[in-house]
Amino acid sequence: MVAAKTHTFDRPDASREIMTKRIVITPKASLDIDEYFAYIAQENPDTALLFFDSVRLVLSAVEGETFAQLARMPGMGSRYPLDNLRLQGLRKWAIKGFKKYLIFYFERDESIEVVRILYAGQDIERILEQE
């Protein structure tokens, strides 16, 4: 009888905590959320609630997918190049389920700073240049 060989593979400890960065929402980004909620609610209150819930969950960086993903992998958003030196390194990412609503953020050492949440149909460059 031949003994079966067993192989062991090193795998990361499943209990190891994933490093997540703190999410910081600027006052303008917070106002953006409120304004889009009100705008969407004029036509469809249920969709506005879904939008708000998506944003609220993602802002908590606990259960929401978009911001939780950003908190764990801040480099996943694409760079948004602008001439303004103050905005170098700005990134964008779409809110899950609301792809035309874009999160504009900076990756900082200890946090993700959400600068604005803007609708894709707006003059985004002009708005961001005013930051």
Establish if 12 belongs to a structural domain: no
Q: Between the CA of residue 18 and those of 8, 12, 56, 91, 106, what are the distances in Å?
A: 24, 11, 21, 22, 20
| pLDDT score for 24 | 85
Instruction: Find the CATH number of the domain harbouring 26.
Output: 3.30.2310.20
Question: Residue 56 pLDDT more than 80?
Answer: no
Establish if 9 belongs to a structural domain: no
Name the pLDDT band for 111 (thresholds 50, 70, 90): confident
Average the pLDDT over each of 21-25, 43-47, 55-59, 124-128 and give the range with the smallest value. Answer: 55-59
- Mean pLDDT of all residues in the chain? 74
Question: Residue 4 pLDDT more than 80?
Answer: no
| pLDDT score for 93 | 82
Q: State the residue range of the domain holding 114.
A: 22-129
